[in-house]
Structure 1
């Protein structure tokens, strides 16, 4: 199945190329930084599937898709949730929110291939490999080593990712990260906090201590948190 990638962010294209390279049924026919170039390509070459960003200069992904008389199958890849209704009306196959976990990408591709999603390999969360994760900040994707993350704090529609050296603020739901990050390493201990279990220095019935930071344990999470942490207690 021939596919093209349309995104004005080089790093987003690089990540998709890495994912697609793991699926034998997909072949990249072209990558484009804007929808106008993609439109010209589609008029002259057969394309089965488009991975399409929405907010791009000159021509948005939505306007591009509407301009196609007989569009191929489309998977939206965007950092914005606001266009889900447009995706439904345009009958896109799926709507992927950046940063895109490999497992979520596989599910979307499985819909196109009309087969069960392949079992994920060692890919986790928003990673290109098991060692790091990308977080979107403005128009950049910030690479962060998983081992360096101390904790993640929810701030309404954003999260703050705290490491020993920096803070990253990204528009994302903490529930999404809870599902995406490897559960053996990251633990939800409060409605507003996820912690890196490997970074915990001490804990009590009310909080965990990570360096100089004290992160509260939520009442509704306490029993499950105690069970997990007690596995290595003596």
Structure 2
């Protein structure tokens, strides 16, 4: 029944292509050795081995969304870098939210592996917006969102600063504070405690005083 729910939900999500379902973990492992995938919807309580044990046995780990009736494994799942943790029964809207998180990470990773690109896509509301590196002034963590300040536009996304630190060209961007990344060539002036980008005064964190702007 749980597999039928996932099959129904994935059929409604245009960017998810469900390739195979399994009730036997060892058959799933055999398939994964032959057919690499981007994302697995994984239960925890299964015959023979648990979902956690299956995940730890993988040499190449795809994105994981746990689908389970047991809430006590949530912390461990995120320690294993799971994308999301869906508690049964879950609604279509909650399922879609998890899929959107996976898709956003997939787009980020795709942009990162293509070194020739000078842009990436970030989710802003219901849209994925193309962001050119040259248009970025600074980036600020704000609650559950990250604010990407562009020339003439502000993008609010769920991308984390750590993900953006890995994604952005290190020659052009630098972390100056736990809550800020700045474009080096957009800095107008700076002192020991602050720097200014487009009239925005940005603090320099105590652990970032040795940052290099050129």
- State TM-score, norm by structure 1: 0.52
Contact 2:133 2:168 in 1 (8 A): no
Contact 2:140 2:148 in 1 (8 A): yes
Equivalent position to 2:109, from 92, 101, 110: 101
The 1:193/1:55 distance shift into structure 2, 3 A limit, reads farther
Question: Are 2:38 and 1:75 aligned?
Answer: yes
- Structure 1 residue 66, shift from structure 2 partner: 2.4
- Does the residue aligned with 1:220 lie in a helix, a strand or coil? helix
Alignment of 1:149-188 (within 5 A): 149-188=136-175
- CA–CA distance in structure 2, aligned partners of residues 64 and 122 of structure 1: 29
- CA–CA distance in structure 2, aligned partners of residues 60 and 215 of structure 1: 38
- Note the aligned Cα RMSD (angstroms): 3.7
Alignment of 1:125-136 (within 5 A): 129-130=117-118, 132-136=119-123
Aligned to 1:147: 134
- Structure 1 residue 185, shift from structure 2 partner: 0.6
Moved more, 67-76 or 93-102: 67-76
Tell me which protein shows more helix as a share of its residues: 2
- Structure 1 residue 203, shift from structure 2 partner: 0.9
Aligned to 1:11: none
- State TM-score, norm by structure 2: 0.57
Gaps of at least 5 residues in structure 1 are 1-34, 37-53, 78-82, 106-120, 124-128
- CA–CA distance in structure 2, aligned partners of residues 135 and 199 of structure 1: 21
The 1:55/1:195 distance shift into structure 2, 3 A limit, reads farther
- Structure 1 residue 145, shift from structure 2 partner: 1.8
Contact 2:122 2:159 in 1 (8 A): no
- CA–CA distance in structure 1, aligned partners of residues 165 and 172 of structure 2: 11
Contact 2:108 2:121 in 1 (8 A): no
Gaps of at least 5 residues in structure 2 are 1-6, 45-50, 64-101
Contact 2:141 2:161 in 1 (8 A): yes
Equivalent position to 1:192, from 168, 179, 190: 179
Question: Are 2:115 and 1:122 aligned?
Answer: yes
Aligned to 2:66: none
